[in-house]
Amino acid sequence: MDILERASANTALEAFGTSAFPALSADGIDSTAIVDRWLVDRWSNAVIARRIDEFYNLDEQIVDGVDPAPKVPPVNIRATSTIIEIFEGVVDQVSGDEMYVTLRAKMNRAAADHAMSIELANVQPQDRELVGPGAVFYLTMYRDTTGKTVRNVEEVRFRRKPDWNARMIRKVDELAAALNFGPVEFNR
Amino acid sequence: MSYIPEIASASVVLVGSFAPRRYSAHWLLQNNLIGEVDFEQITTNENYVCTQHLSQMECTAFHLQVTSTRIQIICGAVLTPVVNDLAKSLLSLMGDAVVDSAGINFFSHFQIQSEDEYHRIGDVLAPKPIWQKLFPDPGWSAGLADLAVKISFAPRGETDATGNGFTVRVQPSAKIEKNGVMLTFNHHVNFPKESSQVEAALEFFDQAWDHGLGHSKVVFNDLLESTKSY
């Protein structure tokens, strides 16, 4: 931890007090000791920020004096894979341990849609509750090269939010109006 | 012959006015933009930062960085439309935020089969005689390090007031050790202030991702193919 980081750590303590860091303040040690422990543990500003974030869970509140120097690190390409194809799939039916889906290729767009079944075991646990008729997902088939190991992999990931926008809703409203149905109620 | 990239990735960028502090992992989870596995990966990563000036997080699927003027989402290990979905989801929660411009980038790294072919690509796109004349020392050489070509949506000599366009970039690959070429395809659009910028950005991401995915593949392949005929 350099001087700037230490200054930020001290500022954080001043702003929040030791109670913001229950794991560290449980022993009743003073703030200087806490900062020293940060030094020993070589904690970064990222850790300080995360601790504050976890403890307060503040979404909107702007916290002055806690920020590290606003030096934005560059974001590098992290990919290690060759894409074979990306499909957008729609769940038609769920039965037992499988879902029956229709896939549309996003890269080779001339390819015809095709139906298949996918075992639910291939769906990430965090996406299981999203699985149901009409749910949209992406199936990415790729060859991963990590180090000297090459393997073919399929990844399923579900879309978490509806994919409609204001223009689409306006079009549906217009269509409904034309059919004398009145405005259509969406969960917007 | 079709050129198949060894590595492919993509990113989406929003330029405007944002409050990085808002974009915490908790906020993304509460708004169902990420799942619990993503949340766990983000919050246990030591690079996770969420402060007034910078929010930065990564999970298997993506890396998200938010500053007061820019949001960038880049694919994780795999090129996936999830980054485009995330950009749209963020936009749908922005209300009337200021979003001045947006961009989608596709990156591909190609392994070129021979050193001759590798040099020919650079020599065709950036002919060397003029550089050899400027730097004639026989012990020196000139090589293409970075070439960007902007495609404007207006005839030559005319100014496109929108500033929208494509940019194709050619560089040696930093990911492929020998004879590797990286090609980048960028689609940039500006959103006029008089209209709803968020709505315009949503429209852009709705249409440009799928188009760019296919278009960039064709451009990359045809660009490399075309250097063979010179």
A166 and chain B: CB distance < 8 Å anywhere?
yes
Is A44 in contact with A12 (CB distance < 8 Å)? Answer: no
Is A68 in contact with A50 (CB distance < 8 Å)? Answer: no
Give the whole-number percent of chain B exceeding pLDDT 90: 83
Would you give the DSSP letter of residue B32?
A: T
Can you tell me the distance from the alpha carbon of A133 to that of B207, in angstroms, rounded to the nearest whole number?
25
Q: Which residues contact B225 (CB under 8 A, 6 or more apart)?
A: B1, B3
| Residue A65: per-residue pLDDT | 40
CA distance to partner chain A, nearest, from residue B170 (Å): 15
pLDDT confidence tier of residue A162, bands split at 50, 70 and 90: confident
pLDDT digits (tens, 9 = 90+) for B194-211: 888 999 999 999 999 999
Measured between CA atoms, the residue of chain A closest to residue B36 is A126
Q: Which residues are B151's β-sheet partners?
A: B166
Is A110 in contact with A52 (CB distance < 8 Å)? Answer: no
Instruction: Specify the 3-state DSSP secondary structure of B197.
Output: helix
Instruction: Examine the pLDDT at B86 and tell me if it is beyond 70.
Output: yes
Q: Do A82 and B47 touch (CB under 8 A)?
A: no
Q: Is B57 exposed, middle or buried (0-12, 13-18, 19+ CB in 10 A)?
A: buried
Which position has the higher pLDDT, B219 or A60? B219
Instruction: Examine the pLDDT at B65 and tell me if it is beyond 70.
Output: yes
pLDDT confidence tier of residue A86, bands split at 50, 70 and 90: very high
Instruction: Examine the pLDDT at A34 and tell me if it is beyond 70.
Output: no
Can you tell me the distance from the alpha carbon of A159 to that of A137, in angstroms, rounded to the nearest whole number?
5
Measured between CA atoms, the residue of chain B closest to residue A56 is B26
Q: How far apart are the first and last CA of chain B?
A: 17
| Residue B153: per-residue pLDDT | 92
HEC per residue, chain A: CCHHHHHHHHHHHHHHCHHHCHHHHCCCCCHHHHHHHHHHHCCCHHHHHHHHHHHHCCCCCCCCCCCCCCCCCCCCCCCCEEEEEEEEEEEEEEECCEEEEEEEECCCCCCCCEEEEEEHHHCCHHHHHHCCCCCEEEEEEEEEEECCEEEEEEEEEECCCCCCCHHHHHHHHHHHHHCCCCCCCCCC
Max CA-CA distance within chain B? 64
B124 and chain A: CB distance < 8 Å anywhere?
no
Mean pLDDT of A155-180: 82
pLDDT confidence tier of residue A45, bands split at 50, 70 and 90: low
The shortest CB-CB distance from B36 to any of A83, A126, A161 is to A126
**Mean pLDDT of all residues belonging to chain B:** 93
The shortest CB-CB distance from B82 to any of A45, A50, A157 is to A157
Is B205 in contact with B84 (CB distance < 8 Å)? Answer: yes
B61 and chain A: CB distance < 8 Å anywhere?
yes
Instruction: Examine the pLDDT at A187 and tell me if it is beyond 70.
Output: no
Instruction: Examine the pLDDT at A8 and tell me if it is beyond 70.
Output: no
B19 and chain A: CB distance < 8 Å anywhere?
yes
Which segment of A76-90, A133-147, B55-69 scores lowest on mean pLDDT?
A76-90
Which position has the higher pLDDT, A60 or A154? A154
Instruction: Examine the pLDDT at B103 and tell me if it is beyond 60.
Output: yes
- Determine the residue type at B125: L
Instruction: Examine the pLDDT at B29 and tell me if it is beyond 80.
Output: yes
Can you tell me the distance from the alpha carbon of B150 to that of B161, in angstroms, rounded to the nearest whole number?
15
Is A159 in contact with B209 (CB distance < 8 Å)? Answer: no
pLDDT digits (tens, 9 = 90+) for B150-160: 999 999 988 88
The two structure tokens encoding residue B203: 């429209």
Q: Do A81 and B50 touch (CB under 8 A)?
A: no
Is B60 in contact with B82 (CB distance < 8 Å)? Answer: no
CA distance to partner chain A, nearest, from residue B214 (Å): 6
Instruction: Examine the pLDDT at A21 and tell me if it is beyond 70.
Output: no
Q: How far apart are the first and last CA of chain A?
A: 47
Q: Which residues contact A18 (CB under 8 A, 6 or more apart)?
A: A24, A25, A29, A30, A31, A34
Q: Which residues contact B184 (CB under 8 A, 6 or more apart)?
A: B105, B106, B107, B167, B168, B169, B171
For chain A, positions 96-135, list CB contacts with chain B under 8 A. Answer: 106-107, 109, 124-127
